[in-house]
Structure 1
Amino acid sequence: MSEARRYDTATLTRFVEQLFEGAGADAEVARVVTRVLLEGELLGHRTHGLNLVSRYVGGVQRGEVKARAADLEHLQGSGIATLFDGHYVLGPYCVERALACAAQGAQAQGIGISVVRRASHIGCLAAYLKPYTDRGLVALLYSSDPSVGLVCAQGGIDPIYTPNPIAAGIPTQGEPILLDVSMSSVTLGLVGQCRDAGTTLPHAVLMSNDGTPSNDPRDFFTTPQGSLLPLGGQAFGHKGFALALLVEALTSGLAGHGRKDAPQQWGASATAVVIDPRFFGGLEAFTAESSFLGQLVLASRPLDPQRPVRLPGQAGLKLREQALREGLGLSPAVLDALNQTAAQLQLAPLSQ
């Protein structure tokens, strides 16, 4: 296998921004979307990184996705609570606007919450968090997609809801804790990867359409479709199922637009909550506590001495640091897709 070509982030940023602008995006939208997708790549979330650029650009070109900042509608706001209608604007721009509004409320009054409905695909939730933890803020994100059913209810067979991830950025005295967890036992992306590779999943985390637990990815891609099991699997899936319902309430429920509306186009409902510890016990006390807990975790005895216990986001932040220092490696498939998109837009390719 050939080694991936490495690029500095400034070069990649300029190139990807040009792709979005070439497809018709505002400069502001292009900048925000590029930053979020590149951050996902830097953190090692390769299924939600720069591989999404061609998909997003294609959606804009087909008229399925909007790329103008003016199309994101600010429906109402109180200074603490804000509601947006994305009208299928590029999702990272919608979520970043929601987070910025929530952060403004938090810094003014301790907490802010923003909800956006009908955003297009929003990428990796963890990719949004570090700019806020760097400011000493706690940032939480919740997401669902009311047009799709992938995960079955605990004790059920049919796919009802999406993996409904929860993400949070927690500031410490050093690197933040970054968590991004789906409320399904596995992601759809992993199931697809195993199917394409002809391998099975390590555990029976799927439910076939006849109600049989399975680790065969082919049992998901059937007609009728199979299901992902809730987080916790058969034994403890009631926990993930309950949390998924909470996410549905905090996203589509608060947005006033969800499954009851039978949307026909993929569109995320997302909620951003930002908390400023300065309005509570104080930022110094907060980070002292989060750092102390982190050290307890890192000092705990590992089952495997070769695999020390680590905190959520620690591995991704290490990858990010290395990529910023040495350049970001792109797989041939991602590089080819980016250059094909550039060719379609009559733009110069990335050097190979």
Structure 2
Amino acid sequence: MEKKIKITTIKKLALEIIHNQGYDKKESEQIFDMRLYAQLRGNDHGFVGLFGWNPDKDRTAGQITIVRETKLSALIDGNANSAITVMQKATDIAIQKAKKSGFGIVGAKRTYNSTGAIGYYVKQIAQHNLIGMTFSGCDAYVAPFDSNEAIFGSNPMAVGLPTLKDPVVLDFATTDMTWHDLTEQNILNKKLAPGRGYDKSGKPTLEPKAVMAQGASRIFDNTYKGSGLSFIIETLTGPLVQAAAFGILDEEADWGNLVIAIDPELLVDIKDFKKNMTKLIKRFKGARKLKGVKELFYPGERGNRMAARCLRQRIVEIEEELLEKMMAEAQPPSGFE
């Protein structure tokens, strides 16, 4: 059952948990902002991610540095820092380069744990009147089509497009179940639907824990098309950015990410682009609907609408079991560093 909680209340709980996981004040705020973005939209990278894949800060983490750079590009060494904080830096750099030179591409290697909802980053790019694209890699837990062995990560991608109103944001993982989805199913003691997961030996399983214990989720569409897309993202977040891929190298400490920002002004006046985006959206929304369908939603529209409603009420909607876990985990911090 979902509960409605004041944003101020959930922020206090979340910041206590994040701080106790080893993050300083700035990092904690960055992680919270991304989690709130996701939670407001019903995205499974919301506050359940506080209990996801290795949420604690890596105690060996060093300074985030740029190791290779041109006027259009940069390669970041995340130095075992949270992928959320590294992705924010990569996004900021990509925006700066695109606004100055029309294009920015930033890779990141050696990031630690999940990037979260990567639509969060492309939305920021789109709000600067730029086209944003992001791709993220992670540890292997997804099997290719016609396989039951995990060699892919969840391999999400996102695209953000500026419009006259809210940006269009496409954000999806190429796995049938994200790690946070599995975590939530486990917290809620729910079984998986048949055919969605395999255990360590490759046998079909209904248990989220079995998939998480070196098992495998299937590809999102269970076809060669989704498998091919995941393969491409694996290479963009692996060899291209000098990070791990296909179960090779130390995946737990070497996840890769790629952020791209493009100024539409390279090809078209931004005013014309946004005006034509509005026409495109209007045409899409007016397409003939199947019987029983009330409305067609373009990418990101449903989530933006949900977030706007919650923000007006200054609340978040959260599963009762997850809220109870947050309350149990939160301890008053000794003070941010």
Instruction: Tell me, yes or no, whether TM beats 0.5.
Output: yes
Distance change >3 Å, CA 230–CA 334, structure 1 → 2: closer
Q: Give the Cα–Cα distance (whole angstroms) in 2 for the partners of residues 154 and 132 of structure 1.
A: 33
Query: Offset at 1:54?
Result: 5.4
More displaced 10-residue stretch of structure 1: 286-295 or 312-321: 286-295
The alignment status of 1:319 with 2:306, answered yes or no, reads yes
The answer as to whether partners of 2:183 and 2:208 remain within 8 angstroms in 1 is: no
Q: Which letter does structure 2 place at the counterpart of 1:30?
A: S
SS at structure 2 position matched to 1:172: coil
Q: Give the Cα–Cα distance (whole angstroms) in 1 for the partners of residues 28 and 199 of structure 2.
A: 41
The alignment status of 1:92 with 2:84, answered yes or no, reads yes
SS at structure 2 position matched to 1:343: coil
Q: Which letter does structure 1 place at the counterpart of 2:99?
A: Q
Q: Which letter does structure 1 place at the counterpart of 2:134?
A: L
The alignment status of 1:157 with 2:155, answered yes or no, reads no
Distance change >3 Å, CA 344–CA 18, structure 1 → 2: closer
Q: Give the Cα–Cα distance (whole angstroms) in 2 for the partners of residues 138 and 222 of structure 1.
A: 36
Tell me the residue number matched to 1:34. 32
Distance change >3 Å, CA 65–CA 40, structure 1 → 2: farther
Tell me the residue number matched to 2:218. 229
The answer as to whether partners of 1:231 and 1:239 remain within 8 angstroms in 2 is: no
Query: Offset at 1:4?
Result: 1.6
TM-score (norm 1): 0.81
The answer as to whether partners of 1:20 and 1:57 remain within 8 angstroms in 2 is: no
The alignment status of 1:143 with 2:136, answered yes or no, reads yes
Distance change >3 Å, CA 72–CA 128, structure 1 → 2: same
Q: Which letter does structure 2 place at the counterpart of 1:75?
A: V
Q: Give the Cα–Cα distance (whole angstroms) in 2 for the partners of residues 261 and 57 of structure 1.
A: 19
Query: Offset at 1:94?
Result: 0.4
Tell me the residue number matched to 1:241. 227
Query: Offset at 1:247?
Result: 0.8
Q: Give the Cα–Cα distance (whole angstroms) in 2 for the partners of residues 290 and 313 of structure 1.
A: 14
Q: Give the Cα–Cα distance (whole angstroms) in 2 for the partners of residues 218 and 136 of structure 1.
A: 44
Distance change >3 Å, CA 190–CA 288, structure 1 → 2: same
Q: Give the Cα–Cα distance (whole angstroms) in 2 for the partners of residues 144 and 209 of structure 1.
A: 21
SS at structure 2 position matched to 1:153: coil
SS at structure 1 position matched to 2:238: helix
Distance change >3 Å, CA 211–CA 310, structure 1 → 2: same
Tell me the matched-pair count.
331
What does 1:304-343 align with in structure 2 at a 5 Å threshold?
A: 304-326=291-313, 327-343=315-331
The answer as to whether partners of 1:206 and 1:220 remain within 8 angstroms in 2 is: no
The answer as to whether partners of 1:23 and 1:345 remain within 8 angstroms in 2 is: no
Q: Give the Cα–Cα distance (whole angstroms) in 2 for the partners of residues 25 and 31 of structure 1.
A: 9
Query: Offset at 1:344?
Result: 6.0
Query: Offset at 1:86?
Result: 1.0
The answer as to whether partners of 2:157 and 2:171 remain within 8 angstroms in 1 is: yes
Distance change >3 Å, CA 294–CA 307, structure 1 → 2: same
CA deviation vs aligned residue, 1:249-273 (integer Å, no higher than 9, x gap):
2111111121375205255311000
SS at structure 2 position matched to 1:151: coil
The alignment status of 1:51 with 2:48, answered yes or no, reads yes
Tell me the residue number matched to 1:350. none
Distance change >3 Å, CA 240–CA 133, structure 1 → 2: same
Q: Give the Cα–Cα distance (whole angstroms) in 2 for the partners of residues 57 and 224 of structure 1.
A: 14
User: Identity of paired residues, percent?
Assistant: 19
Tell me the residue number matched to 2:172. 181
The alignment status of 1:250 with 2:236, answered yes or no, reads yes
What does 1:1-150 align with in structure 2 at a 5 Å threshold?
A: 1=1, 4-8=3-7, 12-13=10-11, 16-17=14-15, 20-21=18-19, 24-45=22-43, 47-53=44-50, 59-60=56-57, 63=58, 66=61, 71-120=63-112, 121-145=114-138, 148-150=139-141
Q: Which letter does structure 1 place at the counterpart of 2:41?
A: L
Unaligned runs of 5+ in 1: 348-352
CA deviation vs aligned residue, 1:65-123 (integer Å, no higher than 9, x gap):
74xxx621221211211111112212211001001111111111111011111212211
CA deviation vs aligned residue, 1:280-325 (integer Å, no higher than 9, x gap):
2121122122222222221112224344211111111011101111
The alignment status of 1:276 with 2:263, answered yes or no, reads yes
SS at structure 1 position matched to 2:271: helix
Q: Give the Cα–Cα distance (whole angstroms) in 2 for the partners of residues 335 and 140 of structure 1.
A: 32
TM-score (norm 2): 0.84
SS at structure 1 position matched to 2:326: helix
Unaligned runs of 5+ in 2: none
SS at structure 1 position matched to 2:151: strand
The answer as to whether partners of 2:244 and 2:254 remain within 8 angstroms in 1 is: no
